[in-house]
A and B are shown apart, each in its own frame.
Chain A
């Protein structure tokens, strides 16, 4: 009590009366309650990271799912609270964690950090989609405290039962984890598995089992934090999943290793949030800009700062890892051909497009431009950014305010301004890489989400300039005017976006082929070696961050212009995650990967409105979940889906006569569709059939040529001998071929 009074005095004039001590204590209790929830969430995160090496971006989403499962059992089905809690914590949570380990995370050993990032981000996205699918988001679920009622008083301060239980649970979790990790065989085996998995296995440990146990416990802790949150906030999939970002800061204070420091971090964050909620308005004299949105942004500010002040990860020589990644070196001729095909293809498509389809296609190119911005940054330089969608949002706002009357200077400023903001993010984060860089950029994006994008109009300090980012919620973005030509219809906007994407594609290919591109790839492989040949890594990273951010800004400006207006929700962190995920799935080293992302996301968004799918009630949910599933399933291919597609269709491009025949047939089909009223669908379906048919024809011809060629034939068509029996079972034909080759038939 004496200590509380002393602390209260320290907080200044706001606390000069004895009743204020009660106020201070009540905010302390509230802060401790928040700290306890953060501690439980962060400890689960640290547990899975320290024992499996995977930083689980989906940890919050697992917690959210646990909270919804608890709600379902407790309130929708009327189970007693203890039974519902026990079922979630000791049955559903662990089972779900074990299942995730078995199906997803076990396959991530020996993969790059980018792959782990894509898969966990994809899981986050999928779980949000799944929750929205299963539980109607329009139903209000809130205020489900344990043991409702006032609780009890401590030194005159009311403590609710929910707060008391939350704090006790956190203390119990801390003690339990300490005992588990340091005083049980299972815990020691878990820690050994992450230090050196093969060595742990050689010494009799079972790393897979240890990992599974860690994921089971981690998921259970996530679910526990989710259930504890149920008493304080409304259940909503996306915001709840992102609440874990608050716990990231606590985990980072523990440097993702130390559970005691993680709990200290949670305590600092929880109390900070509690006191800010109580006193910020007093301290800032009711400044309207430092309201509850600022308080909600404080944990991500702390996360950003903690990442920056963590002891510097100096350049280390680590030995070159052998990867299967290939970064192609396209020719400039190829780049110009690709650009011409994009522009000409779009122009030819326009007569067949309805207005809605033109908007879809325009959005496709907008998304592709933002994804393309990631190609030099992630694909070439190996610098992960989760803030690019937010940067695109800044581009849209810039276009809205500085592109008055459609001035092209709006686009120029969108590039310049976002490039500057990109450099601003890059500057403090230059020494970060991998998961730490991803977290820092995510923190920045969430900071924009929670506070900056929600700011009321304000005057720029020391100037007369008034800044109103999204006005009162939404701001108009003008149509671009260029050399007296206004892009004032959706079709014109579509052509503008296609041309911009095409030009940017050429730029990215030029960058890849340039000396600077070579430096980026070198930096991706070995920063230490780059430094020792004289490369200034700081300038290199800063430059590529700025260029990439500027490109995203142009994408955002064009998307805003296509929409006609833009608002804060358009640029939320979770809205942009699919762009990152699907760009990696498509092939983050390639221009084609960016187009793949644009096409996939725009088509998925438009599909629920297609006539054949309009009445399928579950399809919108499936479309929402699909990008996440793509990330989980395909994100492990280091070269992306486009590389595989290219490999599949390359023989057709090389068979000149067949290729020309295919183009002629496609042209004829196009002319037929344009001059008749059969609809564009026939062109799409016919085009795909022609493409597959021509490819199959070329492949069958090649197989025929192989069969007729002289020399020894492969024993098993399409299979390497050593993999037959492993990849697939031996068939009687295989055995006959083997006998034949070994001369066994004669013996028989």
Chain B
């Protein structure tokens, strides 16, 4: 059974179908990619999964338990964590305090483990800096650390590599593989196709609110519908 199962999810904003009967799964111990052009509906799906948006139709399940009627905080307590495309940090607090808030709320870890999580994402040197003073790339890492502090079963990452340089992106890729190796289900939305192709076990491609392809990196890379969605160009180049 997949850790996260989205089945037939449909969202409409007025007359516009943002998601149309979307099926996405994320398995334990794997990194699952969700890619697509801008406006394809990736962030909308994340908002549905974590409860910030109510779907018109469809079911979201975590470990077989239906989440549709649960508020966001209860979904988080069942093991769902996420980062945001547009940063949602606690800007008045330091890096340490941002992660501590999550750890305290869930009672998942103490101060020493919080420091270890921060070190793991590579922010040990900025642990007591206010997060609104950090560059965007590092701020994204704070969001990842904060999500990890809840010890999630499923981790939703919304463009985590945006703002990172090549070396930092490679580090992030290694971290995602480590997390999967520890048994976590990672669902990754990312525009950096190289990262997605390197780290994902399974990739879903979304375009205009519909899933147009599912498969491993090689399958997706050669899918004609996917290539067309990316303006007919090569996925390597996008």
- Residues of chain A whose beta carbon lies under 8 Å from any beta carbon of chain B: 314-323, 325-327, 515, 518-519, 521-522, 524-526, 528-537
Contacts and interface: CB of A to CB of B under 8 A. Distances in A.
B184 interface: no
Contacts of B213: none
B132 interface: yes
Contact of A322 (B72, B73, B88, B91): B91
A8 B117 CA distance: 72
Nearest to A326: B92
A519 to B, nearest CB: 6
Contacts of B51: 531
B88 A528 contact: yes
B92 A533 contact: no
B90 A317 contact: no
A528 B158 CA distance: 14
Contact of B90 (A314, A529, A531, A536): A529
A326 B76 CA distance: 29
B181 interface: no
Contacts of A530: 73, 101, 105
A325 B86 CA distance: 20
A535 B72 CA distance: 9
Contact of A533 (B86, B97, B106): B106
A111 to B, nearest CB: 16
B175 interface: no
B132 A314 contact: no
Contacts of B85: 317
Given A519-B101, A533-B81, A534-B73, 5 more contacts: A317-B85, A320-B88, A526-B89, A528-B72, A534-B102
Contact of A320 (B50, B52, B87): B87
B146 interface: yes
A528 B91 contact: no
Most B C-beta atoms less than 10 A away, residue of A518, A522, A532, A536: A532
Given A518-B104, A522-B101, A534 B132 contact: no
B150 A526 contact: no
Contacts of B71: 531
A534 B152 CA distance: 11
A525 B71 CA distance: 19
A529 B51 CA distance: 12
Contacts of B97: 518, 521
A314 B47 CA distance: 11
A327 B101 CA distance: 16
9 contacts: A314-B53, A317-B84, A521-B97, A525-B93, A531-B51, A531-B73, A532-B72, A532-B73, A533-B101
B52 A524 contact: no
Contacts of A526: 88-90
B54 to A, nearest CB: 8
B91 A320 contact: yes
B82 A518 contact: no
A522 B90 contact: yes
B86 A317 contact: yes
Contacts of A533: 76, 81, 101-102, 105-106, 146-147, 149-150
Given A521-B92, A522-B93, A529-B90, A535 B52 contact: no
A529 B88 contact: yes
B77 interface: yes
Interface string B29-70: 000000000000000000100111100000000000000000
What 8 A-B pairs have minimum CB-CB distances, sorted nearest first? A319-B86, A534-B76, A531-B72, A529-B88, A533-B102, A522-B90, A526-B88, A525-B90
B81 A532 contact: yes
B4 interface: no
A147 B51 CA distance: 61
Contacts of B121: none
B105 A535 contact: yes
A325 B75 CA distance: 32
Nearest to A324: B132
A532 B97 CA distance: 16
Contacts of B102: 533-534
Nearest to A319: B86
Contacts of A521: 90, 92-93, 97
Contacts of A525: 89-93
Given A320-B132, A519-B105, A529 B89 contact: yes
B27 interface: no
B114 to A, nearest CB: 12
Contact of A531 (B76, B93, B146): B76
B100 interface: yes
Given A320-B87, A526-B88, A531-B71, A314 B93 contact: no
A440 B203 CA distance: 48
Nearest to A539: B73
Contacts of B98: 522
A532 B52 CA distance: 9
A323 B91 CA distance: 8
Given A316-B52, A519-B101, A534 B87 contact: no
A524 B92 contact: yes
A405 B65 CA distance: 59
Contacts of A315: 52, 72
Given A525-B90, A535-B105, A317 B52 contact: yes
Contacts of B53: 314
Contacts of B47: 317
Nearest to A528: B88
Contacts of A318: 86, 88
Nearest to B97: A518
B106 A534 contact: yes
B88 A534 contact: no
A649 B81 CA distance: 45
B34 to A, nearest CB: 17
A537 B51 CA distance: 14
